[in-house]
C-alpha cells in the first residue's frame, strides 16, 4: 500500500524510518500488506537523503495520485496542514497525524469531513507521543462513564521539574539543561507556559466527552513561578509538583478543563513519572483509575504511533472507524476558578497566627532555612476565587493547586 508523508522534520523522518525498518512486523499487522512511502512533501531540500525519488514540493502530486490512500501529516501548525488535510479527506484518502495544534483547533471540522468522505482521520500520536491513549480511552473504556482525566502531558516541563525536585536545580538552570539536551526549544514558551499541554487537554476532553473543546477555553498556567522553596515545602508534605492537565466531568453540558502546576502526593501513579516521560490517568466509574505511561515525545516513539495509525487505516481502508466528537459551545467549559473546589498550597509572608485566623486549621509545611516571617500550608477544599478573596491584602509568594489524582 502506497502512503505519503507530509513534513520531513523529526517526526516525519521518523515515520519514514519506522516504515522501512519495521516492514516485517507492519506487514504482519496489516495482514500481509507492506507499506511503501511514495511521496515525501517538504519545501526544503535534503540532498543527502536516500529518498530523492520520493520528495516533492507539490501537494497536488499526493492529492491527485489515486494510488495513495493514506497520508501521514507531520507538518505541525494549523496552516497549511488544515487545508491539505481537508482536501485529502475530501478526496477520500485517510489521514493520520501527530499535529496536536491542528487537532485541537480544527478537529471537529476534520472529523466531519472524514465522516462525510468515509475516510479515517486518526491522531494517536497527537497526545502522549508513543503512549497508546486514544484507542484505550474510546474502545477499552467504552463501558465507563469517565469521571475525570489528569495527565503529565509535556515532557520538557516534567524534565525541568524533575531536575528541580531531585537535584535542587533552579528553574533557569534546568531549562538551560533541557535546551542543551534538545528537550526544549530555543523559545520554550509553548512548553513552559503550558500551551502544548493545553492542546492535548483539548483533544482528550473532546474525545472523552464527545464535544469539541478549543484551546482558548482551557486556561493554562505554566511552571515559571515554581521555586525551589515551593519544591522543598511540598516535599515535606510527601508530594511533588507536576504540570498537570486536568479534566473533570460535571454534567452532560459542563466540564472543567485546565492546565497548571499541581501538588501530587507520592503514592499517585503520576508522582513517580520522571524526566521527559508522560502519563495520563483516566478515572472511570467502573474501572477506577487506569494510567498510561511512556515517552510523550521524541522521533521514534511519536513516529511509531503515527505508523500504528497508518497500519490501522490500511486494515480499515474500506470501513470507517468511529472516533470523533460533535460541536461544543462557549459555555461548555466552566470557569473552574468559580466552580471547582480543591485544596491549595499557599506560601506567604505572614505568621501562622494570621494563616489560622484566615483559613482555620490548616496543614503547615516546613523547609530547611525557612525564614521566620514565611509560612506555607495546605488549605481545606475551596474554590480558587474563595481562596483569592481570603488572601486579599496578604503578601502571597505562591499558590499551587492540590490535585486529587
Region binding its own copies by CB under 8 A among candidate stretches 23-31, 55-63, 75-83, 189-197: 23-31
- Give the helix/strand (H/E) hosting 289: strand 288-295
356 is catalytic: no
Kindly tell me which residue out of 131, 174, 213, 365 binds its own copies, with binding defined by CB under 8 A.
131
Q: How far is the CB of 281 from its own copies (least distance, A)?
A: 8
DSSP string computed for 307-331? HHHHHHHHHTTTS------B---TT
Total residues found in the chain within this entry: 405
Q: DSSP 3-state assignment of 93?
A: coil
Residue given cell 516513539 in the structure block: 301
Kindly tell me which residue out of 69, 195, 295, 347 binds its own copies, with binding defined by CB under 8 A.
295
Residue 219: CB partners within 8 Å, gap ≥ 6? 258, 259, 260, 336
Binding of its own copies by 254 (CB under 8 A)? no
Half-sphere exposure of 317 (CA within 13 A, CB side): 16
Kindly tell me which residue out of 41, 231, 307, 402 binds its own copies, with binding defined by CB under 8 A.
307
Half-sphere exposure of 33 (CA within 13 A, CB side): 14
Binding of its own copies by 317 (CB under 8 A)? no
Region binding its own copies by CB under 8 A among candidate stretches 111-119, 239-247, 266-274, 379-387: 266-274
Binding of its own copies by 291 (CB under 8 A)? yes
Binding of its own copies by 170 (CB under 8 A)? no
Question: Of the two residues 234 and 264, which places its CB atom closer to its own copies in the complex?
Answer: 264
- Give the helix/strand (H/E) hosting 220: strand 219-220
Binding of its own copies by 235 (CB under 8 A)? no
Question: Of the two residues 100 and 295, which places its CB atom closer to its own copies in the complex?
Answer: 295
CA 319 to chain centre: 28
Q: 360 — alpha (psi -120 to 50), left (phi > 0) or beta?
A: left
- Give the helix/strand (H/E) hosting 284: strand 277-284
Question: Of the two residues 198 and 204, which places its CB atom closer to its own copies in the complex?
Answer: 204
Kindly tell me which residue out of 300, 362, 387, 402 binds its own copies, with binding defined by CB under 8 A.
300
Q: How far is the CB of 222 from its own copies (least distance, A)?
A: 26
Binding of its own copies by 44 (CB under 8 A)? no
Write the burial class of residue 242 (CB in 10 Å: 0-12 exposed, 13-18 middle, 19+ buried).
buried
Task: Please tell me the distance from the alpha carbon of residue 133 to that of residue 153, in angstroms, as a whole number.
Answer: 12
**Given the residues 93, 106, 163, 200, the one annotated as active site:** 200
Cα dihedral 33, 39, 41, 43, rounded to 10, equals 150
Binding of its own copies by 116 (CB under 8 A)? no
Region binding its own copies by CB under 8 A among candidate stretches 25-33, 45-53, 79-87, 213-221: 25-33
Binding of its own copies by 1 (CB under 8 A)? no
Contacts with its own copies in 2-21 (CB under 8 A)?
Answer: 18-19
Binding of its own copies by 215 (CB under 8 A)? no
Task: Please tell me the distance from the alpha carbon of residue 121 to that of residue 112, in angstroms, as a whole number.
Answer: 10
Instruction: Give contact residues for its own copies (rule: CB under 8 A).
Output: 18-19, 22, 25-26, 28-29, 31, 124, 130-132, 135-136, 138-145, 210, 267, 269, 271-274, 284, 286-295, 298, 300-301, 303-305, 307-308, 310-312, 315, 319, 322
Which sequence positions are flagged as catalytic? 200
Amino acid at each position: 500500500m502506497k502512503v505519503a508523508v507530509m513534513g520531513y522534520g523529526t517526526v516525519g523522518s521518523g515515520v519514514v524510518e519506522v516504515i522501512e525498518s519495521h516492514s516485517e512486523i507492519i506487514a504482519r499487522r496489516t495482514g500481509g500488506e507492506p507499506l511503501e512511502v511514495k511521496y515525501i512533501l517538504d519545501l526544503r531540500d535534503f540532498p543527502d537523503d536516500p529518498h530523492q525519488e520520493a520528495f516533492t514540493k507539490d501537494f497536488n502530486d499526493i492529492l491527485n495520485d489515486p494510488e495513495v490512500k493514506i497520508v501521514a501529516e507531520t507538518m505541525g501548525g494549523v496552516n497549511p496542514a488544515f487545508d491539505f488535510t481537508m482536501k485529502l479527506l475530501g478526496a477520500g484518502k485517510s489521514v493520520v497525524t501527530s499535529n496536536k495544534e491542528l487537532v485541537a483547533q480544527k478537529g471537529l471540522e476534520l472529523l466531519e469531513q472524514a465522516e462525510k468522505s468515509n475516510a479515517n482521520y486518526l491522531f494517536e500520536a497527537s497526545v502522549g507521543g508513543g503512549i497508546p491513549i486514544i484507542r484505550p480511552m474510546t474502545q477499552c473504556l467504552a463501558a465507563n462513564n469517565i469521571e475525570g482525566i489528569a495527565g503529565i502531558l509535556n515532557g520538557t516541563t516534567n524534565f525541568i521539574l524533575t531536575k528541580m525536585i531531585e537535584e535542587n536545580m533552579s528553574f533557569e538552570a534546568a531549562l538551560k539543561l533541557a535546551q542543551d539536551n534538545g528537550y526544549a526549544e530555543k523559545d520554550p514558551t509553548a512548553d513552559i507556559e503550558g500551551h502544548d499541554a493545553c492542546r492535548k487537554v483539548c483533544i482528550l476532553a473532546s474525545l472523552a466527552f464527545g464535544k469539541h473543546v478549543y484551546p482558548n477555553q482551557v486556561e493554562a498556567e505554566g511552571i515559571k513561578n515554581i521555586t525551589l522553596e515551593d519544591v522543598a515545602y511540598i516535599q515535606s508534605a510527601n508530594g511533588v509538583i507536576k504540570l498537570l492537565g486536568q479534566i473533570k466531568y460535571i454534567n452532560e453540558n459542563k466540564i472543567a478543563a485546565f492546565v497548571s502546576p499541581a501538588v501530587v502526593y507520592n503514592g499517585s501513579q503520576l508522582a513517580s513519572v520522571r524526566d521527559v516521560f508522560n502519563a495520563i490517568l483516566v478515572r472511570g466509574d467502573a474501572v477506577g483509575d487506569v494510567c498510561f505511561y511512556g515517552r510523550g515525545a521524541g522521533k521514534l516513539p511519536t513516529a511509531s504511533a503515527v505508523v500504528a495509525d497508518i497500519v490501522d487505516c490500511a486494515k480499515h481502508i474500506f470501513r470507517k472507524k468511529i472516533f470523533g466528537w460533535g460541536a461544543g459551545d462557549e459555555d461548555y467549559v466552566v470557569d473552574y476558578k468559580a466552580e471547582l473546589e480543591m485544596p491549595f498550597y499557599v506560601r506567604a509572608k505572614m505568621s501562622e497566627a494570621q494563616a489560622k485566623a484566615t483559613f482555620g486549621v490548616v496543614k503547615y509545611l516546613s523547609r530547611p532555612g525557612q525564614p521566620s516571617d514565611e509560612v506555607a500550608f495546605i488549605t481545606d477544599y475551596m474554590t480558587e476565587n474563595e481562596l483569592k478573596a481570603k488572601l486579599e491584602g496578604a503578601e502571597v509568594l505562591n499558590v499551587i493547586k492540590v490535585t486529587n489524582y
